[in-house]
């Protein structure tokens, strides 16, 4: 059985390492601009967001960052009243077992409890995530995409060429 719960302080390093590993597994580098360092600093992230983990056999096999306040340092491109989740990651050994879906459903449940819609931003290289969002009823929202010119307004020095001209893709879900 897989249990979704709040992360414990002593699990923060595991959460950071798990998330970085999942991002490294993507076909295009997602860790530019110091993002790897930010991800690894789970303790700071936990000050303005909720860190949830999926546990199986006493081992953390997945995690997600849930952000309920658009003023949080970890909220990205949200509007007042919207919730968001980010950094959804599943250990390679646990993929295909519904871990990611359980974490997303936990975020949706939290948003439902607060009567908040949910917005997520993803990339064209996160195929499994996009398929899952669509399966769970998220709606693609091109009007909420974040174009290259916006997210790279202060140009990033170590940006891989594959990112040039790419937008972050928006999906929303209502929770009422």
Residue 157: predicted pLDDT = 86
Q: What is the DSSP letter of 41?
A: -
pLDDT of residue 15 exceeding 90: yes
**How far is it, in rounded angstroms, from Cα 81 to Cα 149?**
25
Domains delineated in the chain: 2-173 (3.40.630.30)
Percent of the chain with pLDDT over 70: 100
pLDDT tens for each residue of 75-120: 999 999 999 999 999 999 999 999 999 999 999 999 999 999 999 9
Global pTM? 0.95
């Amino acid at each position: 059985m897989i249990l979704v719960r709040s992360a414990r302080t002593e699990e923060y390093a595991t959460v950071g390492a798990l998330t970085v590993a999942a991002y490294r597994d993507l076909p295009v580098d997602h860790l530019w601009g110091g993002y790897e360092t930010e991800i690894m600093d789970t303790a700071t992230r936990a000050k303005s967001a909720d860190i949830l983990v999926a546990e199986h056999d006493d081992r953390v096999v997945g995690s997600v960052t849930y952000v309920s306040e658009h003023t949080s340092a970890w909220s990205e491109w949200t509007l007042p009243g919207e919730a968001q989740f980010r950094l959804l990651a599943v250990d390679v050994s646990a993929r295909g077992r519904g871990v990611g879906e359980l974490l997303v459903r936990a975020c949706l449940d939290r948003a439902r409890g607060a009567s908040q819609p949910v917005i997520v931003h993803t990339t064209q290289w996160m195929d499994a995530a996009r398929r899952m969002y669509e399966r769970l009823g998220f709606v693609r929202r091109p009007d909420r995409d974040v174009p290259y010119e916006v997210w790279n307004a202060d140009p990033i020095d170590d940006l891989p060429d594959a990112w040039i001209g790419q937008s972050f893709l928006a999906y929303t879900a209502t929770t009422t």
